[in-house]
Amino acid sequence: MHNVSSPTGSRSAVREVDDGAVVAAFQPIFDLRDGCVVGYEALARPRDGSSPEELFARAREEGRLSEVDRECRSAALREAGAAGLGAPFALFLNADAGALEIDLPDLPSGGATLIMEITESALTERPEAVLRTLTRLRTRGWGVSLDDVGGDSRSLATMPLLYPDVIKLDLRLLGERDPLDVARVVTAVGAEAERRHATVLAEGIDSEAQLEMARAAGATLGQGFMLGEPGPLPNPLPKPGRPLRLAGSGGDPSGPLPYQRVTNWKRPTRGPLDLAERAAAMLSAQASALGPTGMLLAAPDAVHATATRYDALRESLGFVGVLDPGALEDTWTEVALGPGFGVCFVARREADEWLFATSYDRELVVECALLLMARLPQLPPPR
């Protein structure tokens, strides 16, 4: 609930939070099929007129990010509770991904269906940390929304690992992009939503043309100034529309290693090292064609040192993550993933030969990617 701009105030933004001086505005979210309200997004507004951006920038400087984030969320929940906002309405709450790493909230009992919004930029900047956080968040009963999709193609690379309940297309950001880029984003979002039974929500509907674009992009929910401006919750509340359905839990990063998963059903090829390396290089070539919408995850075995190949891919792909050699025991794994594409290469040395296999089964590839992503080195959250 941080998306509000207003003039800078004179008092400390963090001190204002200490005084309980953050209030919430609520923007309605409509079902574009019948016009009913399905929920609200909560937006933070410091009483002194300062902006949420200033509030959070100062909180980072003072090392109190999680405290401020928690107070903004609490203000929204208090006001929603006082207004009687409960099921079947949904309440969307924005969160700073770094703050969630420090302080993960429990799900309050009763009330509306709660959805935590994570921005596209947070996913592209620290995908491994965001995925770990959201896995823990889901175990506490929260729904997950990927916010602001449309500004950065790199989010399309890691979106399949997120398992979002809601994908929010930002029409303002899409309006600044080339039509081919817009088509690529809309197609990838539509495919992922259908695959995961997620809901597509178009935000930034400020005109009839944007409303038409939202419907053309396959969005079933929408919000924007043309539909309803942020403000206090209405009294009485409107008649609720159909409830927002959560897609379910995310992927499981535990279980057998990728080598066992792939060779459990696909018989590996036996051959010399150079043959296995050529097979892996073919995967890299396929991955590089994905550009910023693609990702590569690698777990070399203890005898491999192919950092040069991985470094070259960092220049072209949206995300490249490499585990330490030997991180997956004595196996070697590489996964490439992007919109409409997924491949996993696995190998293991046996005496003087190598056993290796490649799978293009997308669900299996995503499972293997999740397992690798969960094992990437965990860096401290940004201050």
Question: CATH 3.30.870 spans which residues of the chain?
Answer: 258-374
Which CATH number is 13-223 given?
3.20.20.450
The span from the CA of 279 to the CA of 297, in Å, is 16
DSSP state, residue 240: B
Residue 12, pLDDT > 70, answer no
The span from the CA of 152 to the CA of 124, in Å, is 8
| Confidence band, pLDDT 50/70/90 cuts, at residue 3 | low
| Confidence band, pLDDT 50/70/90 cuts, at residue 383 | low
Tracing tokens 């409303």 back to the chain, one arrives at 211
Residue range 23-29: mean pLDDT, rounded: 94
Per residue in 48-73, pLDDT (tens digit) is 777 878 877 887 788 888 888 888 88
| Confidence band, pLDDT 50/70/90 cuts, at residue 305 | low
Q: Determine the pLDDT at residue 109.
A: 75
Residue range 302-321: mean pLDDT, rounded: 79
SS3 label, residue 224: coil
Q: Determine the pLDDT at residue 11.
A: 39
Q: Determine the pLDDT at residue 16.
A: 43
Look up residue 310 and give its amino acid.
Y
Most confident of 6-10, 245-249, 287-291: 287-291
Q: Determine the pLDDT at residue 340.
A: 83
Domain 258-374 has CATH 1.10.10: no
Angle separating helix axes 362-374 and 127-139, nearest 10 degrees: 100
Closest CA to 32 of 210, 229, 219: 219
Residue 207, pLDDT > 80, answer yes
Look up residue 266 and give its amino acid.
K
Per residue in 104-123, pLDDT (tens digit) is 888 887 789 999 998 878 87
Exposed, middle or buried by CB within 10 Å (0-12, 13-18, 19+), for 300?
buried
> Greater confidence, 264 or 56?
264
Contact 340, 365 (CB under 8 A): no
Residue range 246-266: mean pLDDT, rounded: 84
Q: Determine the pLDDT at residue 9.
A: 35
Q: Determine the pLDDT at residue 180.
A: 86
Question: HSE-up of 308 (CA within 13 Å, CB side)?
Answer: 2
What does the mean pLDDT of the chain come to?
A: 85
Residue 290, pLDDT > 70, answer yes
Question: CATH 3.20.20.450 spans which residues of the chain?
Answer: 13-223
Residue range 298-321: mean pLDDT, rounded: 81
Tracing tokens 């009485």 back to the chain, one arrives at 236
